[in-house]
Amino acid sequence: MTDVIVLNGGSSSGKTSLARALQRLLLPTPWLTLSIDDLIAALPASGGGVDIGPNGEVTVTAAFHTLERAWSVGVAAMASAGAPVIVDDVFLGGSDSQNRWRSALDGLDVLWVGVRCAPKVAVSREAARGDRVAGMAARQAELVHEGVTYDLVVDTTVGPAEECARRIVAHMG
């Protein structure tokens, strides 16, 4: 039985909508959804170790990586205690990011899902959202998948969140 579903995709790729659709389809078992945005929202407004440049480039410091590691271990502890978790993340470090999660989730049954979205569509979603720095979606669309291995890849460009979520649930058996 799957303990953790990790969704990795760039900004505005549809991860959060997909996570919510998964929660609806996986009922009656309640699944927690935890996002890298939750961790970033918990950081102090300045000095949290995440800097977003004027063109959407994201830079993180060693201090952030320390907090991120602690957060992922906490997520793993929740899953180990019996709370199934959907992780909504952006692997800015590609395979290094995945390896950090692999280490934290060791011993758990994890489903790795790549969430793809055509850059032009992600950019359009980014503009419509209004809560992201322009350029972030375009920069991250391919970067976050470099060197990452998945059990399943879904494309939110061509399928709505519910359809992609059904594919994930079917893959889980």
Q: How many other β-carbons are positioned within 10 Å of the β-carbon of residue 67?
A: 18
Tokens coding 2: 């799957």
Tokens coding 14: 């549809």
Instruction: Please say if 37 is a catalytic residue.
Output: yes
Q: Which of 142, 117, 122 is nearest to 132 (CA)?
A: 122
Residue corresponding to tokens 């850059």 = 119
Set 37, 131, 151, 155: catalytic member: 37
The three-point CA angle 73-78-82 to 5° equals 140
Q: Catalytic positions, please?
A: 37
